[in-house]
């Protein structure tokens, strides 16, 4: 079980969290100053950055090689590229971008849920390839490519009776291992696997959204245990993950759903030692 070591941005609706160049980047849902940057050791706020022409946010990831962060915008169907100096560019995905990741080739993987594809882009937005996923892998929410070139993909939620995490072959054509099935709360079930992280040993962390927990799977997608329990999530719903493999810190962006108002009310980022 992970141990809570710090919290960040209490009360804010956080849509993404990542690390770049020794700093923590948080993506906040607001009109300006959407990116908050913190020191990774002291957790002190360093600066705020504005993403111009942003209309909505789905996720954020980073690339140390290209020294930039990428932000998904589902309203405009674009990805915004923000470098460490603050310069911002953008490119069209031509489908609704869901969650983002960066692979070992320093390219950006975009899960395009409604067309059941993974699109791979260069750092400046050149479309390199599209992967049409195997038949059972529809509505992908997040995709990560491992260093052995296989893909870890999650699907599921309240609008999907099947909630699973898959390992898919490097060519995108075959399911190597599945984990999950019908929506549920048992150890081998999910209720909204919405975000993933993979460590250097190829173990997989899964944000199990409506079950209010983070699960750990083996490299072959067998259940290992619960890393973050519902009792440890103050705001309730784990929406985004980032794993700092060097420090063994797992960043969990939580959000709180207000039933009376019918909207997300608040959030925070919880940092766990794992």
Task: For 27-68, give the DSSP string.
Answer: EE-SSS--EEEEETTT--EEEEE--TT-----EEEEETTTTE
State which H helix or E strand residue 113 sits in: none
Classify the phi-psi angles of 209: left when phi > 0, otherwise alpha if psi is within -120 to 50, otherwise beta.
alpha
Predicted local distance difference test score (pLDDT) of residue 259: 64
Q: Is the predicted pLDDT of residue 159 greater than 90, yes or no?
A: no
Q: What is the pLDDT of residues 19-59, one digit of tens each?
A: 999 999 999 988 899 999 999 999 999 999 999 988 899 99
| Burial of residue 244 (number of CB atoms within 10 Å: 0-12, 13-18, 19+) | middle
DSSP 142-158: EEEE-TTS-EEEEEEET
Question: Quick one: average pLDDT of 165-185?
Answer: 95
Q: How many CB atoms lie within 10 A of CB 173?
A: 11
Whether residue 257 is predicted with pLDDT greater than 80 in this model: the reply is no
pLDDT of residue 273: 97
Count CB atoms within 10 A of the CB of residue 264.
16
Name the 3-class secondary structure at 115. Answer: helix
Host domain of residue 45: 3-273
CA-based angle 97:134:224, to the nearest 5?
85
SS (H, E, C) 62-127: EECCCCEEEEEECCCCEEEEEECCCCEEEEECCCCCCCEEECCCCCEEEEEHHHCEEEEECCCCCE
Is residue 11 over pLDDT 90? no
Helix (H, G, I), strand (E, B) or coil at 114: helix
Is 80 exceeded by the pLDDT of residue 264?
A: no
- R_g of the chain computed on alpha carbons: 17
Residue 205's closest CA among 188, 197, 153? 197
pLDDT band at 236 (very low <50, low <70, confident <90, very high): confident
**What distance in Å separates the CA atoms of residue 14 and residue 12, rounded to the nearest whole number?**
6
The whole-angstrom separation of Cα 115 and Cα 95 is 8
Per-residue confidence (pLDDT) for residue 31, from 0 to 100: 86
pLDDT in tens, 121-146: 999 999 999 999 998 899 999 999 99
Token pair 């849920």 in the structure block, residue: 113
CATH classification at residue 142: 2.120.10.30
What's the burial of 267, exposed, middle or buried (CB within 10 Å: 0-12/13-18/19+)?
Answer: buried
**What pTM did the predictor assign?**
0.96
Instruction: Quote the pLDDT of residue 2.
Output: 92
How far is 161 from 182, CA to CA, in rounded Å? 6
Is the pLDDT higher at 18 or at 135? 18
Instruction: Give how many domains the chain has, as a whole number.
Output: 1
Number of H helices, E strands in the chain: 0, 24
């Amino acid at each position: 079980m992970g141990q809570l070591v710090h919290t960040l941005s209490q009360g804010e609706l956080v849509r993404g969290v990542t690390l770049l160049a020794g700093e923590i980047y948080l993506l906040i849902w607001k009109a300006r100053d959407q990116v908050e940057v913190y020191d990774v050791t002291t957790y002190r706020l360093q600066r705020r950055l504005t993403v111009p022409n942003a209309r909505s946010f789905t996720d954020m990831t980073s690339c140390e090689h290209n020294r930039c962060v990428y932000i998904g915008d589902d309203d405009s169907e674009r990805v915004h590229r923000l470098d460490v100096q603050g310069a911002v560019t953008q490119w069209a995905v031509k489908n609704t971008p869901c969650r983002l990741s960066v692979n070992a080739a320093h390219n950006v993987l975009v899960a395009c849920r409604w067309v059941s594809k993974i699109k791979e882009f260069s750092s400046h937005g050149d479309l390199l390839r599209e992967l049409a996923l195997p038949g059972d892998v529809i509505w992908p929410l997040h995709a990560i490519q491992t260093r052995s070139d296989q893909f870890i993909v999650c699907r599921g939620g309240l609008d999907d009776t099947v909630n699973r995490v898959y390992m898919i072959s490097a060519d995108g054509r075959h399911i190597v291992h599945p984990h999950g099935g019908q929506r549920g709360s048992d150890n081998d079930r999910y209720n909204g696997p919405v975000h993933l992280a993979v460590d250097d040993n190829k173990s997989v962390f899964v944000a199990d959204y409506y079950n209010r927990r983070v699960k750990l799977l083996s490299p072959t997608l067998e259940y290992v245990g619960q890393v973050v329990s519902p009792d440890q999530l103050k705001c309730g719903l784990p929406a985004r993950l980032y794993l700092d493999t060097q420090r063994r810190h797992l960043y969990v962006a939580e959000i709180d759903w207000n039933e009376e108002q019918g909207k997300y009310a608040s959030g925070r980022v919880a940092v766990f030692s794992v």
